[in-house]
Structure 1
Amino acid sequence: MRLLTGLRAFHYTARCGSTTAAAIEMGVSQPTVSAQIGALEKQFGVQLFLQIGRKLMTTEFADSLLVITNRLFALEEEAHSMLMEAEGMLRGHLRIGAVGPYNVMPVLAAFQKRHPRIYVSLSVGDSSQIVDRILNYHADLGVLVHDVQDERVESVAYRRQPLVVFAHREHPLARRGSLSVHDLHGCEFVGRESGSTTQRVFNQALERAGVRVKQIMEIGSRESIREAVANGIGLGVVSEVAYVDDHRLVPLPIDDLDAATYSHVICLRERMKSRLVMSFLELVHQLRAELEATDRRLPSAELAVRPLAGRAPIEGLGLGTNP
């Protein structure tokens, strides 16, 4: 038990970056955390942290130990959820990372209604940050707008999101009642950064149609692009779910624009049997089925999950394997 106490103090300090923040997270005093780490280091003759200026840095040995404690305390949380479920209602703490609020909030709203005693914490970042959080056990689930090709990760596509081109209300194209993608040829655009899935999908759609546009500016956020377009700096493109009504802007009615992203929920394969993770994925699977009934362009059900070849179907989710 003393070992577990010391490992917990180390784990939260390494995660939080300081003994003070770890103490708050653990609900104990800062001297207690420092003493527990000191006892662990003394017992095994190791050094876990280096004080560099005002920053506390982990040693190389500590980085390796953190990989183990990440798994250890993820399993502890899973065991806690299982015991709480025995009382008749699922409880626990579910950590979710997402690339933006628009993709995840409808699912979170439905999940909160179904499991009111599960506490959810949401962190927002770019795709690489979310994947890193999943791989390092800092998040249980991630919501992205692209698939993840990693044998450690399970990926479920659940929502098709068409792209929308929008303009300042005084832009010449805004006065047209109906448009073709070829009407965009030669137009000036405010683009997203090169790693943006939305930008990549849009560029591919233009290439398929043989349309060339001029990207005159690159901006890293949807909000900034919206403001740029609202001030007359070119056209912009976002997913339909992320388009925000603004009296200065209008979406362009482009009938033949074949461009869409797909929301994906990801998690570690080894966490698939976690009660909390499974409960979230069950809901995603249900919402996906409802969406399929109204949008036949969503990828077929057998493409929703991309496990390794030969893996057994996931029990309890009704999700098959992909050959």
Structure 2
Amino acid sequence: MDYSMAEIRAFNATLKAGNFTRAADLLEVSQPAITAQIRKLESRFSAPLLERLSKGVRATDLGKQLYQITRQYHDLEAAIEVLSNPRLSPGKMTLQVANASSIIFMPLIAEFSRRFPQTTLKIKSVTTSECRALVLNREVDIGLFPLLDESSELSRLAFSSHRLVAVMRPDHPLAEHKVLSVSQLVGEPLIVYKPEACTQQLLEQLFVRNQLRVSGNVVVDGRLDMSEAVSHGLGIGFALQQDIRPDPRLTVIPIAEATEEVVEHVVWMKNRRSLPGIRDFIQLALEQRCGALSEVSEL
């Protein structure tokens, strides 16, 4: 049975847009054209692909399975276009980015925007684990986060690195130290993160290696909340060093046992490497990384 690209394109656009009208706008066709293509596609299956709601549509279980397969079709079209025109610029397109560290990566994102002003950047600020899932699910094009494990589907470019540090108020008794030991933190009120957070996992690993247990009386969702909690005297917080902005209310102190460098990566799906936007973002990150290394070698 032949399935046309137009049918798949209409189906995917409708799921992405949430309703037929926005899907039609997205593909620059009429709404009847979208509904006709989806009706034709659904006629080939024994059950509906979409559930019609008062304010839009959502995929049925069968529709979700189909989408998992067919969302690669857009990449196929783009790859064919690149093959026929290898110097193709990103141009007027949308690049989806999942970012776990705005302080580190926002300069890179800003430079990409300056170089390709016609490209719309959609940035999602999420946790490291969420970044990874979004890239694997093709919900974003680029991930900016520490990729701690190898993946057969993902490629990565090391961009920056830093270590775990303690964050406290300048008037805290331990703030006079240039370096702290994990043992000095035991018994102090600690501000921790939810279990899936990368910083929390690193913190727990650090304590376990030193045969200690980390527990906090305050649990926060992110670095901003941690910084505010510290500044208001709720305890000692933790972060990766470059993720903390200079703030007179905070003192950042290295932890002696935290010797492991955490590498921040630019991450993408291996089979999407040559696509416009993704290709250009990687190239820019490589240029900036090489430039930073050159500056260090000249010091």
TM-score grouping bracket, smaller chain normalisation = 0.7 to 0.9
Q: Which residue of 2 aligns with 1:16?
A: 17
Contact persistence 2:129–2:198 (CA under 8 A): no
Q: Report the Cα distance in structure 2 between the residues aligned to 1:142 and 1:290, rounded to whole angstroms.
A: 21
- What's the CA shift for 1:52? 5.7
SS in 1 for 2:217: strand
Q: 1:208 to 1:286 in 2, by over 3 A?
A: farther
- What's the CA shift for 1:35? 3.6
Q: Report the Cα distance in structure 2 between the residues aligned to 1:53 and 1:112, rounded to whole angstroms.
A: 37
Map residues 206-245 of structure 1 onto 2, 5 A cutoff.
206-209=207-210, 214-245=215-246
Which moved further from structure 2: 37-46 or 107-116? 37-46
Q: Which residue of 2 aligns with 1:320?
A: none
Could you tell me which runs of 5 or more consecutive residues in structure 2 were left unpaired when the two chains were aligned: none
- What's the CA shift for 1:224? 1.5
Contact persistence 2:94–2:121 (CA under 8 A): yes
- What's the CA shift for 1:225? 1.4
Q: Report the Cα distance in structure 1 between the residues aligned to 2:149 and 2:17, rounded to whole angstroms.
A: 27
Q: Which residue of 1 aligns with 2:173?
A: 172
- What's the CA shift for 1:44? 6.8
SS in 2 for 1:288: helix
Q: 1:116 to 1:16 in 2, by over 3 A?
A: closer
Contact persistence 1:239–1:260 (CA under 8 A): no
Q: 1:279 to 1:53 in 2, by over 3 A?
A: closer
TM-score, structure 2 as length reference: 0.81
SS in 2 for 1:215: coil
- What's the CA shift for 1:27? 4.0
Q: Which residue of 1 aligns with 2:124?
A: 123
Contact persistence 1:103–1:143 (CA under 8 A): no
Q: Report the Cα distance in structure 1 between the residues aligned to 2:24 and 2:129, rounded to whole angstroms.
A: 29
Q: Report the Cα distance in structure 2 between the residues aligned to 1:169 and 1:116, rounded to whole angstroms.
A: 42
Q: Which residue of 2 aligns with 1:309?
A: none
Q: Report the Cα distance in structure 2 between the residues aligned to 1:242 and 1:288, rounded to whole angstroms.
A: 18
Map residues 153-302 of structure 1 onto 2, 5 A cutoff.
153-174=154-175, 176-181=176-181, 182-209=183-210, 214-252=215-253, 257-292=258-293
Q: Report the Cα distance in structure 2 between the residues aligned to 1:83 and 1:118, rounded to whole angstroms.
A: 21
Q: Report the Cα distance in structure 1 between the residues aligned to 2:52 and 2:172, rounded to whole angstroms.
A: 57
TM-score, structure 1 as length reference: 0.76
Contact persistence 1:187–1:214 (CA under 8 A): no
User: What do residues 233-286 of structure 1 show as CA deviations (whole Å, max 9, x unaligned)?
Assistant: 111111222212333322236566425421122211211233432332233233
SS in 2 for 1:252: strand
Q: Which residue of 2 aligns with 1:142?
A: 143
Q: Which residue of 2 aligns with 1:65?
A: 66
Instruction: Please tell me the residue identity of whatever aligns with 1:136.
Output: N
What percentage of residue pairs aligned between the two structures are identical?
A: 24
Q: 1:31 to 1:257 in 2, by over 3 A?
A: same
Q: Which residue of 1 aligns with 2:106?
A: 105
Q: Report the Cα distance in structure 2 between the residues aligned to 1:187 and 1:294, rounded to whole angstroms.
A: 40
Q: 1:206 to 1:289 in 2, by over 3 A?
A: farther
Which moved further from structure 2: 67-76 or 176-185? 176-185
Instruction: Please tell me the residue identity of whatever aligns with 1:180.
Output: L
Q: 1:57 to 1:13 in 2, by over 3 A?
A: same
Q: 1:77 to 1:123 in 2, by over 3 A?
A: farther
User: What do residues 166-197 of structure 1 show as CA deviations (whole Å, max 9, x unaligned)?
Assistant: 112332222x1533324334322100111111
Contact persistence 1:97–1:130 (CA under 8 A): yes
Q: 1:277 to 1:4 in 2, by over 3 A?
A: same
Q: 1:184 to 1:136 in 2, by over 3 A?
A: closer
- What's the CA shift for 1:293? 5.2
CA RMSD, 1 decimal? 3.3
Contact persistence 1:142–1:266 (CA under 8 A): yes
Q: Report the Cα distance in structure 2 between the residues aligned to 1:178 and 1:196, rounded to whole angstroms.
A: 27
User: What do residues 16-59 of structure 1 show as CA deviations (whole Å, max 9, x unaligned)?
Assistant: 33224423433445454334322433477763212367563323
Q: Report the Cα distance in structure 2 between the residues aligned to 1:94 and 1:73, rounded to whole angstroms.
A: 13
Q: 1:65 to 1:209 in 2, by over 3 A?
A: closer
Q: Report the Cα distance in structure 1 between the residues aligned to 2:193 and 2:41, rounded to whole angstroms.
A: 48
Q: Report the Cα distance in structure 2 between the residues aligned to 1:79 and 1:94, rounded to whole angstroms.
A: 18
Could you tell me which runs of 5 or more consecutive residues in structure 1 were left unpaired when the two chains were aligned: 297-323
SS in 2 for 1:9: helix
1:56 aligns with 2:46: no
Aligned length: 294
